[in-house]
Amino acid sequence: MTDNHTTFLSAFRFNRMELAGSLGDLGTLLPLAMGLIMVNGLDPVGLFVSVGLLYILGGLYYRVPIAVQPMKVISAYAIATAATPAQISASGWLLAGMLLFLGVSGLVDRVSRLIPVCVVRGVQLSTGVLLMSKGASFIAGTSAYQQAQGAPEPFLSVQFLGPVPVGALIGAVLGVAALLLLNSRRFPAGLVVVVAGFGCGLLLGGASGLGGVHAGFFLPEILPFGLPSGVDFTWALLALALPQIPMTLGNAVIANRDLSHEYFGGQSRRVTDRALCVSMGLANMLAALLGGMPLCHGAGGLAAHYRFGARTAGSNLLIGGGFLVLALGLGAGALLVLRLIPLAALGVLLVFAGVQLGLAIMDLRKRSDMFVTLAMCGIALGLNLAWAFGAGLGLALVLRKGTVRV
């Protein structure tokens, strides 16, 4: 056996910790995916097949854990405006073209060299705080998605246990369990939260929706919504793609590469800004072709996988294979199975992922750097991460000139 073959095999482990880590980012992925399927009419088979394939191919190429997430600016705005599937597909084609250009041309390397470390940390802290906030709202039952559905746990038949909202109780119990088991190898926290979440879903009436689940072999359609029109592309460019680009460059490229190298050192040599742009570009071409959602490699997702135990690319193959089995074996029924996990359980995963990502700022030593990072966090909470990224660049430039002291 050659050294290269041995090195390749060592990049993949399959055990409880890798399985637990592979589930760590479900809190981000599932709520947005469910919203895009239920509100916007995306094809569940194409969506979950494209997610599964990107997880697997990303793991095989990068050989370290790599996250697969919905593009949040696009997903949130598309759900809020009830954008059509053709408009969402158009945004995927546009993002694919932009990212491939940035990666293949090498322009992204020039851009990343101009980004100060404090701005990268600002992106990471802001994303972490946003994840924690979203997780807390899932547990409390106050997220926009839950309010739109008219119930804290819209897929369960039981909403209260006595005077206590069932989601708050699930979140509290699973949150304490995750904290106590955070470093356990025998009972990995992420695995416990997801398995217990499924159990809660079954006990509290979630199984009533499983009557529509039928096993078979379901292949995704090619261009299920046809080719987007010129009007679709114009709207998608202005409303979805352009607002997404700053967040993608800041969070899914630069911050993600930085975090991967911090976690895995030399093992992350393939995780470069150019490679991330190219893989996301190709992924969005595939997702648009299959009627799925725009995808990225978010730093928050990587922090979630790492926090709950993922240390090798084996975690990618486990979660990617799981999504492929569900999509190809159950078709649209895969969504009904995944809805068994209460949103409060997904909220617990988000809170711990957010804390892990926020800890990235611990290497900052200068007062001015911390000022930029904290200011970005505040702007992200008040506006969005794209505005925070731009403001952080401006603040860092002003402070480096020395004309202003903080």
Task: State the DSSP string of 218-257.
Answer: -PPPSSTT-PPPHHHHHHHIIIIIHHHHHHIIIIIIIIHH
pLDDT at 81 over 90: no
Domain boundaries, the chain: 12-401
- Helices 166-180 and 117-140 cross at an angle (nearest 10°) of 130
| Nearest to 159, CA basis, from 143, 173, 148, 146 | 146
pTM value?
0.90
Q: What is the mean pLDDT of residues 308-337?
A: 96
pLDDT at 63 over 70: yes
Place 205 in a pLDDT band, splitting at 50, 70 and 90.
confident
269-293, pLDDT tens digit by residue? 999 999 999 999 999 999 999 999 9
Neighbours of 4 (CB within 10 A): 8
Q: What is the mean pLDDT of residues 94-112?
A: 96
Dihedral sign computed on CA atoms, order 350, 356, 360, 365: positive
Place 3 in a pLDDT band, splitting at 50, 70 and 90.
low
Cα–Cα separations (whole angstroms), residue 384 to 38, 72, 88, 199, 376: 25, 11, 20, 35, 10
Q: How far apart are CA 101 and CA 281, in angstroms?
A: 9
Q: For residue 6, what pLDDT is reported?
A: 52
Residue type, 103: G
pLDDT at 186 over 80: yes
Q: What is the mean pLDDT of residues 375-384?
A: 92
Task: Classify burial at 162, counting beta carbons within 10 Å of its beta carbon; exposed 0-12, middle 13-18, buried 19 or more.
Answer: exposed
Q: How far apart are CA 69 and CA 325, in angstroms?
A: 19
Helix (H, G, I), strand (E, B), or coil: what is residue 153?
coil
SS3 content of the chain, % helix, strand, coil (to 5): 75, 0, 25
Q: For residue 322, what pLDDT is reported?
A: 97
Place 4 in a pLDDT band, splitting at 50, 70 and 90.
low
Q: What integer best gives the mean pLDDT of the chain?
A: 92
Higher pLDDT, 80 or 331: 331
pLDDT at 2 over 70: no
Tokens of 101: 């250009």
pLDDT at 5 over 70: no
